[in-house]
């Protein structure tokens, strides 16, 4: 499990190789982890949090449309 797997999943989603349509309208961190596992990218919620934390610290955009909602759920940013 690793932060790199989160990055690989996000890259595949952003490239359109993995449809984010399999996610509910308001996905949770567990939904993102499940999508990763279903597509061969094993990672934990902690790995997801570390990936998002690094993106926030680097002033990079978070995955749309779920990145900020998940960051709030994991307590990485305030509401």
Q: What is the pLDDT of residues 30-53, one digit of tens each?
A: 999 999 999 999 999 999 999 999
CA distances from 47 to 4, 25, 59 (A): 8, 22, 18
The pLDDT, as a whole number, for residue 23 is: 84
pLDDT of residue 78: 86
* 33 belongs to a structural domain: yes
Q: Is residue 79 part of a domain?
A: no
Q: Is there a domain that residue 53 lies in? A: yes
Query: What is the number of structural domains in the chain?
Result: 1
Higher-scoring residue by pLDDT: 78, 54: 54
Gap between the Cα atoms of 24 and 31, Å rounded: 8
Q: Is residue 78 part of a domain?
A: no
60: in domain: yes
| Residue 36 covered by a domain | yes
Q: How far apart are CA 4 and CA 42, in angstroms?
A: 10
Residue 13 resides in a domain = yes
pLDDT band (50, 70, 90) for residue 21: confident
What's the mean pLDDT when you consider all of the chain?
A: 92
What's the domain range around 7?
Answer: 3-20+27-73
Q: Are 15 and 56 in contact (CB under 8 A)?
A: no
Instruction: Please indicate, yes or no, whether the overall pTM of this predicted structure exceeds 0.75.
Output: yes
């Amino acid at each position: 499990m690793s932060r790199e797997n989160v990055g690989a999943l996000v890259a595949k989603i952003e490239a359109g190789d993995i449809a984010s349509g399999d996610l509910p309208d308001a996905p949770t961190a567990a939904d993102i982890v499940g999508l990763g596992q279903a597509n061969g990218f094993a990672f934990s919620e902690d790995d997801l949090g570390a990936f998002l934390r690094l993106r926030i610290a680097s002033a990079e955009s978070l995955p749309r449309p779920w990145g900020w909602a998940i960051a709030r759920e994991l307590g990485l940013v305030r509401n």
